[in-house]
């Protein structure tokens, strides 16, 4: 379980997160929701160690990951698919996947197994292994960003608006992979804005506003009152 306890964080003198409390269990999709500027992407950065906490702690099972340097976070099986993908555009598809494998220092048989696993999830990438990532379509780039994250064999998968700007068929493929990861026991933390995606994926929804906890609803509570998403997101 990923357990975020009383976490606050700032950019310099500007505080963005205030005493946040969120849990994400294995085999569960936790959606983090909020209006623009609520602190969702900042939370993703804090979990990955890219922005230090000013108070509180982030624990993965028995390990406090919030005290780790960023390059050690993937070694504890936490992976991020960032908003905007953040690929290495001059590297090939295969080389971008290798970046994920390198983060866990996989070698030999394990390296080949993980590489094959992510290519089975995204067959289109297998056809483009030698193509530069910067020349891929937006949907293919999102597939590659997700494959790169999954190449570390994560226990926790963080996704920051993975369907943003993509055509529906690609969005559905990404969602199918997310469901597969949940079925395989991953704790998935998903930042999402689209109501239909939230209703079809979320086991639990955590609403935040101005960097603070607002409310947490179960899948059943969301299904009973889907309008709560629109009210909290202002859409």
Q: Does position 219 have pLDDT exceeding 70, yes or no?
A: yes
55-60 and 63-64 as β-strands: parallel, antiparallel, unpaired?
A: antiparallel
The structure tokens listed for 173 are 């493929």
203-222: average pLDDT: 92
The structure tokens listed for 21 are 């409390």
Name the residue with higher pLDDT: 186 or 169: 186
What pLDDT, on a 0 to 100 scale, did the predictor assign at position 178? 93
CATH class for the domain made up of 1-77+187-235: alpha beta
- What is the pLDDT confidence band of residue 216, given thresholds at 50, 70 and 90? very high
Name the residue with higher pLDDT: 207 or 198: 207
* Residue spans per domain, the chain: 1-77+187-235
Closest Cα partner for 104 from 126, 81, 71? 71
What pLDDT, on a 0 to 100 scale, did the predictor assign at position 138? 92
Contact 163, 197 (CB under 8 A): yes
Backbone angles phi, psi at 47, to 5 degrees: -60, -40
What pLDDT, on a 0 to 100 scale, did the predictor assign at position 235? 61
**3-state SS of the chain?**
CEEEEEEEEEECCEEEEEEEEEEECCCEEEEEECCCCCCHHHHHHHHCCCCCCCEEEEEECCEEHHHCCHHHCHHHCEEEECCCCCCCCCCEHHHHHHHHHHHCCCCHHHHHHHHHHHHHHCHHHHCCCCCEHHHCCHHHHHHHHHHHHHCCCCCEEEEECCCCCCCHHHHHHHHHHHHHHHHCCCEEEEECCCHHHHHHHCCEEEEEECCEEEEEEEHHHHHHCCHHHHHHHCC
178-188: average pLDDT: 95
pLDDT digits (tens, 9 = 90+) for 95-140: 999 999 988 888 888 889 989 999 999 999 999 999 999 999 999 9
């Amino acid at each position: 379980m990923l357990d975020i306890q009383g976490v606050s964080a700032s950019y310099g003198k500007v505080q963005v997160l205030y005493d946040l409390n969120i849990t994400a269990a294995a085999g569960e999709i936790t959606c983090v929701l909020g209006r623009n500027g609520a602190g969702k992407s900042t939370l993703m950065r804090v979990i990955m160690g890219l922005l230090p906490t000013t108070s509180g702690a982030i624990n993965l099972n028995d390990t406090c990951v919030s005290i780790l340097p960023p390059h050690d976070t993937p070694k504890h099986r936490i992976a991020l698919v960032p908003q905007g993908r953040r690929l290495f555009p001059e590297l090939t598809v295969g080389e971008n996947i290798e970046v994920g494998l390198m983060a866990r220092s996989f070698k030999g048989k394990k390296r080949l197994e993980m590489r094959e696993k992510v290519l089975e999830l995204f067959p289109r990438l297998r056809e483009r292994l030698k193509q530069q990532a910067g020349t891929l379509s937006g949907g293919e780039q999102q597939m590659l960003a997700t494959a790169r994250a999954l190449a570390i064999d994560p226990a926790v998968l963080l996704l920051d608006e993975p369907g943003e700007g993509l055509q529906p068929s690609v969005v559905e493929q990404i969602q199918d992979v997310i469901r597969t990861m949940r079925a395989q026991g991953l704790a998935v933390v998903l930042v999402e804005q689209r109501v239909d995606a939230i209703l079809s994926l979320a086991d639990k929804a955590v609403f935040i506003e101005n960097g603070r906890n607002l409310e947490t609803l179960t899948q059943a509570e969301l299904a009973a009152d889907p309008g709560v998403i629109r009210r909290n997101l202002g859409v």
